[in-house]
Amino acid sequence: MWLILSCLLLSSGGALAETGPDQPKTEETQQSVATQTISINSATVNQLTLLKGIGIKKAERIVQYRTEHGPFKTLEAVTAVKGISLRIINQNREELTL
């Protein structure tokens, strides 16, 4: 019975369904991001994709830039990464930390 219930929840996009980079960001996912803080200097690609305006390619660029140049000193410094604008930083400012 639990297996059937789990399958139904997963197929209907219920609370147990995981959101990955290939799945669209839902309002529920965005609300869960609002309750957590993401460190721009240590977040994984998957964690970064939870942010508004950050897909897998931009998240990969952030991690690559960070690896090559060291940690970001300010949130605004992330705009040095191709495709990351100040608008994206401002949209996610409450969720971001260094």
pTM score, two decimals?
A: 0.65
Q: How is the chain split into domains, by residue range?
A: 25-97
In this predicted structure, what is the pLDDT of residue 63? Answer: 98
pLDDT at 29 over 80: no
**pLDDT per position as a tens digit, 61-78:** 999 999 999 999 999 999
In this predicted structure, what is the pLDDT of residue 25? Answer: 52
CATH architecture of 25-97: Orthogonal Bundle (1.10)
The proportion of the chain whose per-residue pLDDT surpasses 70, expressed as a percent, equals: 64
Residue type, 50: L
Q: How close are the terminal C-alpha atoms of the chain, in Å?
A: 45
Contacts for 68 with CB less than 8 Å, ≥ 6 apart: none
